[in-house]
């Protein structure tokens, strides 16, 4: 660890060790990794691989952050500590280490979001072998969904997490252990039959939609794609062909991804699209304006890096949330869908 001069301030500089990611590096230094993630990237842009990964052995500047305790000098001979408290709410579903949600804004106050992660329960979704262990679509889609929920709550939204696992929470590991104990909101057993499983989700969302009638409501469904092993894909967004608000939501998130790729990966073209996909059961049957997101191909080695790295999962959730904020800011198009 070292300290160096940066402008008028003293900036902490640390050396990345094997296995460090942006989240873990910030956490080690006592800096809120989610609040200062973008600051870190901006300060270290020229020293990151693919604009998001650390190089082992290189030095990185740590954003200056308010400390939990602030020294206050009472006199030349005496110091006391004034405790700075930040009010946050606890949400057990995010797990012990991530339970606290610190408010960021009230930009989504009054808005309602339904978040559905793909598969779950008896259906793990797409599967692949990584480092001798099986990885499954449902575990990674769920982790991204939890991270997205936390972002939306921090901006004042009411969020319903439709597929839930009370034991897992947000996880920062690469290998997310497989289990089958997910339930559907509030605590319903997930059916084995595919049609019954999808219908259950549609019924839950549509019932909640009716209960929240008159409020701004959106649905986001998150999947990890399972195309052929050799096919590398970008993030895709689907909507109902007759839904103007659904199209606007998908387009807003897509535009956010394009902007962030240009900012953080200027040498890489973003090929993800947004389009209507009304043939998908959840797209066709649910009532709220919605977008169906595919975040990558779990069977492709390049996409696995996007999905398995906790920094990348956090970035995906944050970029999706930025698109959602953009969509909400521009308001409704008509009264329905």
Q: How many CB atoms lie within 10 A of CB 81?
A: 11
Evaluate if residue 249 carries a pLDDT over 60: yes
pLDDT of the residue at 319 = 95
Q: Alpha-carbon distance 315 to 37, whole Å?
A: 9
Q: What is the pLDDT of residue 142?
A: 98
pLDDT at 337: 64
Write out pLDDT tens, residues 178-206.
999 999 999 999 999 999 999 999 999 99
Q: What is the mean pLDDT of residues 13-28?
A: 90
Alpha carbons 337 and 332: distance in angstroms, whole number? 9
Sign of CA dihedral 319, 232, 306, 91: positive
pLDDT of 334: 72
- Contact of 118 with 238, CB cutoff 8 Å: no
Phi, psi torsion values for 148, nearest 5 degrees? -65, -45
Cα dihedral sign for 279, 238, 35, 85?
negative
Q: Is the peptide bond before 186 cis (omega within 30 degrees of 0)?
A: yes
Task: Look at 52 and 21; give whichever has higher pLDDT.
Answer: 21
Q: Count Cβ atoms within 10 A of the Cβ of residue 281 and give its class: 0-12 exposed, 13-18 middle, 19 or more buried.
A: middle
The answer to whether residues 114 and 205 touch, using CB atoms and an 8 Å cutoff, is yes
Compute the C-alpha angle 121/123/125, nearest 5°: 125
Res. 9: pLDDT tops 70: no
Half-sphere CA count of 152, side-chain side, radius 13 A:
29
pLDDT in tens, 269-327: 766 777 788 889 999 999 999 999 999 888 888 888 779 999 999 999 999 999 999 99
Task: Mention every residue, 6+ apart, whose C-beta is less than 8 A from residue 257.
Answer: 234, 235, 270, 272, 319, 323
Average pLDDT score, the chain: 86
Q: How far is CA 54 from CA 84, 194, 230, 269, in A?
A: 31, 41, 26, 21
Of the candidates 217, 27, 185, the residue with the CA atom closest to the CA atom of residue 93: 185
Is the pLDDT assigned to residue 75 strictly greater than 60? Answer: no
Q: Which of 17-26, 80-89, 253-262 has the lowest mean pLDDT?
A: 80-89
- Asked, as a colleague might, if the bond just before 189 is cis with ω within 30 of 0, I would say no
H helix or E strand, kind and range, residue 144: helix 137-154
- CA neighbor of 57 nearest in space, from 28, 4, 18, 2: 18
Report the alpha-carbon distance of residue 244 to residue 163 in Å, rounded.
Answer: 26
Which ranges of 157-292 does DSSP label H, i.e. alpha helix? 194-211, 244-264, 281-285
Q: Which tens digit of pLDDT belongs to each residue from 88-97?
A: 899 999 999 9
Helix (H, G, I), strand (E, B) or coil at 138: helix
The C-alpha atoms of residue 133 and residue 177 are separated, in whole angstroms, by 9
**pLDDT score recorded for residue 226:** 53
């Amino acid at each position: 660890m070292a300290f160096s001069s940066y402008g008028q301030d003293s900036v902490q500089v640390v050396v990345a060790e094997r296995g460090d990611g942006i989240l873990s590096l910030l956490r080690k230094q006592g800096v809120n990794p989610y609040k200062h993630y973008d600051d870190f990237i901006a300060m270290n842009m020229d020293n990151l691989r693919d604009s998001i990964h650390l190089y082992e052995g290189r030095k990185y500047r740590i954003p200056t952050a308010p400390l939990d305790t602030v020294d206050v000098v009472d006199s030349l001979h005496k110091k006391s500590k004034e405790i700075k408290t930040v009010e946050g709410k606890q949400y057990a579903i995010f797990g012990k280490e991530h339970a606290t949600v610190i408010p960021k804004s009230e930009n989504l106050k009054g808005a309602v979001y339904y978040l559905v992660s793909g598969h779950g329960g008896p259906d793990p979704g797409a599967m692949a072998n990584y480092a001798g262990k099986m990885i499954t679509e449902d575990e990674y889609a769920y982790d991204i969904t939890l991270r997205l929920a936390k972002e939306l709550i921090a901006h004042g939204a009411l969020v319903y997490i439709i597929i839930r696992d009370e034991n897992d929470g947000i996880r920062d590991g690469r290998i997310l252990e497989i289990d089958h104990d997910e339930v559907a909101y509030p605590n319903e057993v997930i059916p084995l039959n595919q049609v019954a499983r999808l219908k259950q989700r549609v019924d839950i969302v549509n019932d909640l939609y009716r209960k929240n009638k008159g409020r701004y409501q959106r649905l986001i469904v998150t999947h990890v794609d399972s195309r052929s092993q050799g096919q590398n894909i970008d993030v895709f967004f689907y909507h109902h062909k007759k839904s103007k608000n659904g199209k606007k939501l998908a387009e807003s998130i897509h535009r956010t991804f394009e902007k962030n790729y240009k900012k953080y990966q200027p040498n890489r073209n973003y090929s993800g699209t947004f389009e209507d996909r009304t043939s998908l059961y959840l797209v066709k049957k649910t009532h709220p304006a919605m977008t169906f997101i595919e975040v990558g191909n779990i069977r492709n080695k390049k996409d696995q890096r996007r999905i398995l790295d906790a920094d990348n999962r956090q970035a995906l959730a944050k970029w999706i949330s930025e698109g959602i904020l953009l969509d909400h800011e521009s308001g409704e198009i008509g009264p329905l869908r």
